[in-house]
Amino acid sequence: INSDHSVRRLNKGPDRPIFDQEYRAQMLAGLEAVDYVLVFDEETPHEILRQLQPDVLVKGGTYRDDEIVGREVVLEYGGRVKALGVTPGVSTTEIVRRLRDAETEAISIPLAQTAERRAA
């Protein structure tokens, strides 16, 4: 996975990464199909892929198979590349939106109630 520093360099947004690299690595390592999780700081995983030669390179989210960074490296030695697609309601963008909405709601309701009390 991309290191926290690498994610920031990729300009994914001011709030990224939402989950730090240790948490993201632990989530992936907990999957039965995952043998190893490595955190890399480079812009691309090309060198790590050349060294490790995983059987399968998997990417989630909105990527298509032909858009996955490192695809050509994995295919070159006979590995497979797979995009998992999107799970509705499970995305970092959606998590950020929900948190912002909840924060706005939590802040605005007490302020509105305070204004009503003052008017009464």
* Number of domain units in the chain: 1
Residue 113 has pLDDT above 70, yes or no: no
Q: 56 and 31 in contact (C-beta within 8 Å)?
A: no
What number is the average pLDDT over the span 103-118?
56
- Cα 49-52-55 angle, rounded to 5 deg: 85
Give the pLDDT confidence of 27-39 residue by residue, as tens digits: 999 999 888 899 9
CA dihedral 33, 12, 7, 42 (to 10 degrees): 100
Residue 120 domain-assigned (yes or no): yes
Give the pLDDT confidence of 49-96 residue by residue, as tens digits: 999 999 999 887 778 888 899 999 999 999 999 998 777 777 777 777
Residue 91 domain-assigned (yes or no): yes
Q: Which parts of the chain are beta strand (E)?
A: 56-59, 80-83
Residue 101 has pLDDT above 80, yes or no: yes
Host domain of residue 109: 87-120
> Which residue is associated with the tokens 């999780």?
37
Residue 114 domain-assigned (yes or no): yes
Residue 78 domain-assigned (yes or no): no
